[in-house]
């Protein structure tokens, strides 16, 4: 496959153009709303394009893109959906995490948790947790993440994740999902290594006055609304009832753990 078209235009779309396309499309496929996307030159097609114009490129998931490439779907269908992207209409882009039947290790900033159902709890609400479905036997993950204005930006419900179309950017590259609050400022970065590990590599969020922040390899900070703080790095815990509990006036670590090592 040639790396340029007949006009000498590279197949590599600049990062800034991709981001503008994602923002306009609500961070997902304009047809079905799935968030793992490819970039499609709509009009003109890439073969005839002289530039990577973000207004003439759209976002399609692999399945929808394949239907267009195989001419099962017309360009006219894509153009219609491009004018009214599903994620913008719904308010979110979505996809699923592959969790499986075994409880994965959860890495959260500078902490590691094994067989722990509640990883983070703040003011009585689970920020990130795992539970086994009694009917299917599958492990289901749920969580909620907010920004500096305490507005929801990302939610996980029974392994399905939904990222708000109001975010500055949501980008999925390989097995890494990144939510940015502005250019070069990360609100949430998740790496998945199914079926064994779910890794929150970076987080910076405010939840009803509680601050939760951390970077993998550097440490994890939890701050209660009254300023009570805990800073942890290198912690590994197994079989805990809960990991980090943030209250109005306190922060506790490792509730009823069989193994806890710093």
Q: What percentage of the chain has pLDDT greater than the value 70?
A: 100
pLDDT tens digits, 105-146: 999 988 999 999 999 999 999 999 999 998 888 999 999 999
List all residues 6 or more positions away from 75 whose beta carbon is below 8 Å from its beta carbon.
Answer: 42, 43, 45, 68
pLDDT tens digits, 198-231: 999 999 999 999 999 999 988 899 999 999 999 9
- φ, ψ of residue 23 to 5 degrees: the values are -60, -45
Q: What is the rounded average pLDDT for all residues in the chain?
A: 94
Reduced to 3 states (helix: H, G, I; strand: E, B; else coil), residue 123 is coil
In 3D space, the residue among 121, 130, 127, 131 whose CA is nearest the CA of residue 144 turns out to be 127
- φ, ψ of residue 5 to 5 degrees: the values are -95, -170
Spatial distance between the Cα atoms of 90 and 105, rounded to a whole number of angstroms: 32
- What was the pLDDT predicted at 22? 98
Spatial distance between the Cα atoms of 146 and 182, rounded to a whole number of angstroms: 14
Q: Is 181 in contact with 187 (CB distance < 8 Å)?
A: yes
Q: Is 213 in contact with 204 (CB distance < 8 Å)?
A: yes
- What was the pLDDT predicted at 1? 65
Per-residue confidence band for 59, with pLDDT thresholds at 50, 70 and 90 = very high
Spatial distance between the Cα atoms of 159 and 5, rounded to a whole number of angstroms: 40
Residue 262: is its pLDDT beyond 80?
no
Long-range own/partner contacts, residues 253-261 (CB < 8 A, 24 or more apart): 257/116, 260/235, 260/236, 261/235, 261/236, 261/237
Beta partners for 200? Answer: 108, 190
**No. of H helices and E strands in the chain?**
4, 21
- What was the pLDDT predicted at 2? 79
pLDDT tens digits, 148-195: 999 999 999 999 999 999 999 999 999 999 999 999 999 999 999 998
Going 54 to 55 to 56 to 62, the CA torsion angle's sign is: positive
List all residues 6 or more positions away from 43 whose beta carbon is below 8 Å from its beta carbon.
Answer: 56, 75, 79
Give the angle subtended at the CA of 183 by the CAs of 10 and 144, to the nearest 5°: 115
Strand 235-238 to strand 229-232: parallel, antiparallel, or no bridges (unpaired)?
Answer: unpaired
Q: Is 251 in contact with 228 (CB distance < 8 Å)?
A: yes
């Amino acid at each position: 496959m040639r790396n340029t078209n007949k006009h000498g235009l590279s197949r590599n779309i600049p990062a800034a153009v991709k981001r503008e396309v994602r923002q306009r499309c609500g961070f997902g496929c304009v047809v079905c709303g799935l968030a793992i996307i490819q970039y499609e030159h709509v009009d003109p097609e890439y073969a005839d394009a002289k530039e990577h114009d973000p207004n003439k490129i759209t976002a399609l998931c692999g399945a929808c893109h394949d239907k267009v490439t195989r001419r099962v779907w017309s360009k006219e269908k894509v153009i219609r959906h491009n004018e009214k992207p599903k994620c913008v209409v719904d308010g979110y882009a979505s996809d699923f995490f592959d969790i499986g039947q075994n409880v994965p290790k959860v890495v959260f900033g500078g902490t590691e948790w094994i067989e722990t159902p509640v990883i983070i709890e703040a003011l009585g609400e689970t920020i990130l947790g795992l539970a086994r479905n009694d009917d299917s036997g599958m492990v289901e993950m749920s969580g909620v993440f907010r920004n500096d204005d305490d507005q929801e930006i990302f939610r996980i419900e029974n392994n399905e994740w939904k990222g708000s179309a109001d975010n500055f950017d949501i980008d999925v590259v390989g097995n890494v999902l990144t939510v940015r609050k502005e250019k070069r400022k990360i609100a949430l970065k998740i790496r998945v290594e199914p079926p064994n590990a779910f890794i929150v590599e970076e987080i910076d969020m405010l939840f009803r006055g509680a601050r939760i922040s951390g970077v993998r390899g550097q440490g994890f900070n939890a701050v209660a609304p009254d300023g009570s703080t805990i800073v942890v790095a290198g912690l590994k815990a197994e079989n805990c009832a809960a990991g980090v509990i943030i209250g109005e006036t306190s922060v506790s670590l490792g509730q009823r753990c069989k193994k806890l090592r710093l």
